[in-house]
Structure 1
Amino acid sequence: MLNRFVIILLCLLLLGGCSGPNSKGNLQKVGLLVPETINDQVWGTKGFKGMLKIQSKFDVDVFYKEGMDSQSEVERAVKEFSQKGVNLIFGHGSEYGEYFNNISKDYPEIHFISFNSDAKNSNTTSLSFKAYAMGFFGGMVAAHMSRVNKVGVLAAYEWQPEIEGFYQGALAENKNIQVSIDYVGNWDNGQKAVQLADRMMEKGVDVIYPAGDGFNVPVIERVKERGFYVIGYVSEQSDLGESTVLTSTIQQVDKLYEIVAERYNDGRLESGNLFFDFQDDVISLGKFSPLVSKEFIQKINRSIETYKVTGKLPK
């Protein structure tokens, strides 16, 4: 793991250098704070890729810091970023909403971005994926492919809208489906998640939706060992086994970073809480397993296009 407390200039180390501040808009330099690491291959890595997209598109310097999981650490990092001329900071998680609300008034020249939180000041914005429809279409696929009419959701927390979405989508596809739901209690406890997955499979569930980006990979590996199926979560996970991963519900975090940076650069970024869905082209279903019929894939794709136009889901 890279030094979690040392700031790194990405464009110098990774991209061979870049020019000075963007002269075409408001964006000058960009900073990223992550609570753990950019090397987790899921959520943290997506934020890192988003920074690389911003650097490439806007030709600006970008920085990041890992292990930023307390108010004091965030305050020190923001002070460093400010001294370097950073004027857009992404806090890659819901915890940064409160941190940024507490300090943003001290840095009126900086706009602060967090996820799934409540942004309260004029220079703070919270980004949230509207995950209900994402879960709904994942539930449709799971119910269609279950051989025994038993599917399961393994979530981190009860508040996740994709849970109810998955449940309703499964019922929309198959009125006789049984949906089991269990909660890990955090995003990262892979051991507990695998234990809960084992319990589900012992009860006959043959398709599981591991809705936690910190534990979905070990769950997928365990389900693969048992010969059952999963719906991937947040990332494209077909590479973990195309005979196991029926499809993935993808949140394109890196693309959302680029959209936000463009809005800020153009002076169009709103403060407050913003929500993004399929219509914004930042949520999608991933590659389908060859086990899923072409006819059903066409049906799902038509339903997604209808939802993007009308906002209506299948009944």
Structure 2
Amino acid sequence: MLKRFVIILFCTLLLGACSEKQPVGKIKNVGLLVPETVYDQVWGSKGLKGMLKIQSKYNVDVFYKEGINSELAAERAVKEFDQKGVNLIFGNGEEYAAYFNKISKKYPKIHFVSFNGNAKNENTTSLSFKSYAMGYFGGMVAAHMSKGQNVGVIAAYKWQPEVEGFFQGALAENKQTKVSIDYVGNWDDDRKAIQLADGMMNAGVDVIYPAGDGFNVPVIERVKERGLYVIGYVSDQSDLGESTVLTSTIQQVDKLYEKAADQYNFGKLKSGNLSYDFQDDVISLGKFSPLVDKGFIRKITKQIENYKQTGRLPQ
């Protein structure tokens, strides 16, 4: 069912103060499509948070629809959004790039934004995170904290740049580190991801990087049961256990939504494929566990700042 957010008078509670509202230019109302739910604690929830920021900043109506996992469902949702005066639509996943390339031709006055895809039309944009460096710094933390010099990545797909980044970062921190890598083949297969985690831990892995936003929370809970460690993924997951989550590699999806809305509002949102990294303040490491020594935290914080300035990773 189409859901509409009610604008809250006390907008300071909605991630932005009334005094900070921006003048509305091109932006009218905004829509969000998600393949599953906006309450997944990770990617979908960050999309929702981004929409709330846009609503608060521009005082516009925002709408979302869940369970939009086919082109036909997306086309129906876009039609409804169009009737609501929406002229900026976010598709919170890579699948929407292909959908939007087709649908956008029928709606030239709407701009369509997807993630990690290939946008082909003048009114389509695909946003992506440059996640290699994110994984690299996560790998450095994992290798530094591994007592057995044995760490592992459980990723969704082989194409994820953060996997190779984690591998190289771990070796940069400690060349003696063994890095195990397994793939779930899906963002959301909790059962397989947990089986892979059990296999790794049984083989001596003591730090795991669950690089899949649909299964990382169950994997973290399983690792916590074993008294071992993880690197969180996408969100700051320190609240799942500061003695388990050493740090998190954060993709600030909500901030990227806001950036795209700002650019669109002032007529500066480019079509095609755009990518963002630490330098754009949308990727960061999260809160460090108190188990991580302060000297190392100072060192890696300085290395991240150096990367933001020079683009060079520590070797």
Quote the residue 2:158 is aligned against: 158
Match of 1:305 in 2: 305
In 2, Cα distance between equivalents of 1:183 and 1:155:
5
CA deviations on 1:67-120 (whole Å, 9 max, x unpaired) are: 111111111110111111100000000000000001101101000000000000
Which structure 1 residue ranges, 5 or more long, are not aligned?
1-5
User: CA-to-partner distance for each residue in 1:200-234, whole Å, 9 max, x for gaps?
Assistant: 00100000000001101111111111111000000
| AA matched with 1:191 | R
Q: What does 1:140-155 align with in structure 2 at a 5 Å threshold?
A: 140-155=140-155
Cα separation, 2, equivalents of 1:23 and 1:290: 43
Amino acid aligned to 1:270: K
CA distance in 1, matches of 2:270, 2:136: 29
Counterpart in 2 of 1:167?
167
TM-fit CA distance, 1:24: 3.2
CA distance in 2, matches of 1:42, 1:116: 16
Indicate the RMSD between aligned Cα atoms, in angstroms.
1.4
Instruction: Give the aligned partner of residue 37 of structure 1.
Output: 37
Shift of 1:17: 9.9
1:3-18 matches, cutoff 5 A: 6-12=1-7, 15=8
Superposed displacement of residue 270, structure 1: 0.3
Instruction: State the AA in 1 paired with 2:220.
Output: I
Name the structure 2 match of 1:205. Answer: 205
Distance in 2, Cα, partners of 1:101 & 1:24: 27
Say whether the 8 Å CA contact 1:11–1:17 is kept in structure 2. no
2:194 corresponds to: 194
AA in 1 matched with 2:190 = G
Task: Kindly indicate whether the alpha-carbon contact (under 8 Å) linking 1:235 and 1:249 is maintained by their aligned counterparts in 2.
Answer: yes
Paired position in structure 1 for 2:15: none
Q: Secondary structure at the match of 2:86?
A: coil
Q: How far 1:9 moved relative to its partner?
A: 1.6
Q: Is residue 296 of structure 1 aligned with residue 296 of structure 2? A: yes
**How many Å apart are 1:11 and its aligned residue?**
2.6
Q: Distance between the aligned counterparts of 1:300 and 1:232, measured in 2?
A: 17
What are the equivalent positions in structure 2 for 1:61-140 lying under 5 Å apart? 61-140=61-140
Matches of 1:298 and 1:37, distance apart in 2: 37
Q: Distance in 1 between matches of 2:45 and 2:60?
A: 20
Cα distance in 2 for partners of 1:166, 1:258 equals 28
1:252-305 deviation line (CA, Å, top 9, x unaligned): 011111110000001110000000110000000000000101100011001100
**Aligned equivalent of 2:55:** 55
* TM-score, length basis structure 1: 0.95
- Count the aligned residue pairs: 306
Q: Provide the C-alpha distance between the structure 2 equivalents of 1:11 and 1:88, rounded to a whole number of angstroms.
A: 18
Q: What is the match of residue 3 of structure 1? A: none
What is the CA–CA distance in structure 2 between the aligned matches of 1:296 and 1:16, rounded to whole Å?
A: 45
Distance 2:57 2:306 in 1: 32
TM-score using structure 2 length: 0.95
Check conservation: 1:101, 1:121, Cα contact below 8 A: yes
Structure 2 unaligned spans of 5+:
12-17
